[in-house]
């Protein structure tokens, strides 16, 4: 009778301990949860910037804290300056639009005659354009429900963008802390990976690091290049709100939609307003910028990672669909690790079967069971 009682007591004690442990983990997660996204972004930024950090630390005579603080400051400047310029541009445009509507000085030029000949949308667009040119206030009043919904969407988007900007500021600061303690962070990551995956854990940790850098170069890097080139073209052609359109190009290129949904209306505007030579050159330039990712991605995506580029690309896009922007990295890392684990399991299974069926001597016949 004493043995069952001891078993029940041991099981009850183990249950209580596990329950307390689960409660503690859940409590810790609830405390850290608001900082999860900034911490994850900080890790991604630190991993991506680590090669540059090493070069800068070497130039600064091995001063880790100074190199990390310099990179963090540079990151904050690169983030804040475009955001402030874009905010100032949008604010000025809103003030100009409000003052023009209030004073009645805002006028829309009549549509070019060629607009009516455009397929599908030409006639409707030309009529709406002509109505706005004749009586802008009445046109805006007739479009009030649509403008109200668009305005609400813009306000919510601006609030989300502001919160995202704050998260990125925190993430850059966290990345600077990680870089200042890069060696200790690397040892901790490798130790955790070994505890989770055994002897192969260190290899998987290095593979995850290489995957993050590959996604940074192949997706974010290409998106940044495309948006910068598109923004330069917009400014050269004098497109109103060039910074806003360049930012939208960056977002759409990051999510792999491409810049053409933004550039096609701009091309229509340029073809309708600019001279023929400038318009043709701008069309050629935008076609080049919009298709340059087909050349850059095969070069940058998957570089330094011993897996097919398609695995990284599918993981990044699938991760984005399920988890947003941060899923670009998480999805790619998870799918690459899963792919390598599958190959390791497949190889070990084939090797184990082959060694089990191999004869003991090259000249000995195989055993018959």
- 115 and 215 both lie in a single domain: no
Whether residue 309 contacts residue 302, with contact meaning beta carbons closer than 8 Å, is answered with yes
Residue 189 lies in a domain: no
128-179: pLDDT as tens digits: 777 777 776 677 667 667 667 766 666 666 666 667 778 788 888 988 888 8
For 78, what's the count of Cα atoms within 13 Å in the CB-facing half-sphere?
A: 9
User: 288 lies in which domain range?
Assistant: 203-349
Residue 185 lies in a domain: no
Dihedral of CA atoms 238, 242, 245, 251 in degrees, nearest 10, equals 140
Residue 108 lies in a domain: yes
Long-range contacts at 125-128 (CB < 8 A, ≥ 24 apart) = none
**DSSP reduced 3-state for 169:** helix
Percent of the chain with pLDDT over 90: 3
Phi, psi at 328, each rounded to 5°: -55, -40
Whether residue 72 contacts residue 173, with contact meaning beta carbons closer than 8 Å, is answered with yes
- The DSSP string of 81-108 is HHHHHHHHHHHHHHHHHHHHHHHT----
User: Given this model, what pLDDT does residue 320 score?
Assistant: 76
- 226 and 170 both lie in a single domain: no
- 174 and 240 both lie in a single domain: no
The two three-digit tokens of residue 45, written as one number: 């930024």
- 243 and 325 both lie in a single domain: yes
Residue 360 lies in a domain: no
Residue 196 lies in a domain: no
Q: Compute the distance between CA of residue 168 and CA of residue 157 in angstroms, rounded to an integer.
A: 16
**pLDDT over threshold 60, residue 359:** no
Q: How far is CA 145 from CA 30, 96, 134, 142, 152, in A?
A: 41, 22, 21, 8, 11
- 219 and 333 both lie in a single domain: yes
176-232: pLDDT as tens digits: 888 888 888 888 888 887 887 777 777 777 777 777 777 777 777 888 888 888 888
User: Given this model, what pLDDT does residue 363 score?
Assistant: 44
Residue 95 lies in a domain: yes
Q: Which helix (H) or strand (E) holds 266?
A: helix 260-273
- 268 and 315 both lie in a single domain: yes
**pLDDT over threshold 90, residue 99:** no
The two three-digit tokens of residue 367, written as one number: 């055993």
Residue in this structure with the two tokens 């004749």, named with its chain if needed? 134
The answer for residues whose C-beta is within 8 angstroms of residue 83's C-beta and 6 or more apart is 165
Whether residue 76 contacts residue 169, with contact meaning beta carbons closer than 8 Å, is answered with yes
- 50 and 108 both lie in a single domain: yes
279-330: pLDDT as tens digits: 889 889 989 988 888 888 777 776 666 677 777 778 878 877 777 667 777 7
Q: Compute the distance between CA of residue 126 and CA of residue 112 in angstroms, rounded to an integer.
A: 8
Number of domains in the chain: 2
CA–chain centroid gap for 320, Å, is 8
Q: Where is average pLDDT lowest: 10-14, 139-143, 313-317, 341-345?
A: 139-143
Whether residue 281 contacts residue 187, with contact meaning beta carbons closer than 8 Å, is answered with no
Question: Cα(first)–Cα(last) distance of the chain, in Å?
Answer: 49
The two three-digit tokens of residue 166, written as one number: 């704050």
Residue-wise over 44-60: b if at least 16 C-beta within 10 A, else e?
Answer: bbbbbbbeebeebbeee
CA-based nearest residue to 78, from 214, 291, 220, 209:
220
Whether residue 278 contacts residue 286, with contact meaning beta carbons closer than 8 Å, is answered with no
């Amino acid at each position: 009778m004493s043995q069952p009682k001891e078993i029940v007591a041991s099981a009850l004690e183990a249950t209580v301990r596990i329950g307390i442990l689960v409660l503690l983990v859940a409590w810790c997660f609830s405390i850290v949860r608001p900082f999860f996204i900034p911490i994850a972004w900080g890790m991604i930024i630190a991993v991506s910037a680590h090669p540059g950090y090493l070069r800068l630390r070497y130039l600064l005579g091995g001063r880790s804290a100074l190199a990390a603080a310099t990179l963090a400051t540079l990151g904050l400047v690169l983030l804040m300056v475009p955001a402030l310029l874009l905010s100032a541009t949008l604010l000025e445009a809103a003030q100009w639009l409000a003052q023009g509507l209030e004073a009645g000085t805002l006028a829309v030029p009549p549509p070019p005659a060629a607009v009516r000949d455009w397929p599908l949308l030409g006639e409707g667009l030309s009529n709406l354009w002509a109505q706005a040119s004749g009586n802008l206030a009445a046109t805006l009043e007739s479009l009030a429900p649509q403008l109200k919904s668009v305005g609400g969407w813009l306000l919510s988007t601006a609030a989300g963008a502001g919160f995202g900007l704050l998260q990125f500021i925190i993430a850059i600061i966290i990345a600077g802390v990680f870089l200042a303690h890069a060696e200790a962070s690397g040892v901790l990551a490798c130790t955790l990976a070994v505890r989770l995956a055994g002897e192969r854990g260190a290899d998987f940790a290095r593979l995850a690091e290489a995957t993050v850098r590959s996604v940074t170069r192949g997706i974010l890097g290409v998106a940044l290049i495309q948006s910068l080139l598109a923004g330069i073209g917009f400014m050269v052609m004098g497109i109103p709100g060039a910074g806003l359109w360049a930012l939208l190009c960056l977002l759409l290129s990051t999510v792999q939609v491409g810049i053409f949904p933004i550039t096609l209306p701009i091309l229509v505007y340029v073809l309708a307003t600019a001279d023929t030579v400038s318009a043709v050159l701008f069309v050629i330039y935008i076609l080049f910028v919009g298709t340059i990712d087909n050349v850059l991605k095969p070069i940058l995506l998957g570089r330094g990672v011993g897996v097919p580029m398609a695995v990284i690309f599918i993981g990044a896009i699938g991760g984005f669909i399920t988890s947003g922007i941060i899923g670009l990295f998480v999805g790619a890392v998870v799918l690459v690790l899963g792919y390598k684990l599958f190959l390791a399991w497949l190889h070990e299974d084939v090797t184990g079967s082959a060694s089990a069926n191999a004869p003991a001597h090259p000249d000995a016949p195989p055993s018959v069971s």
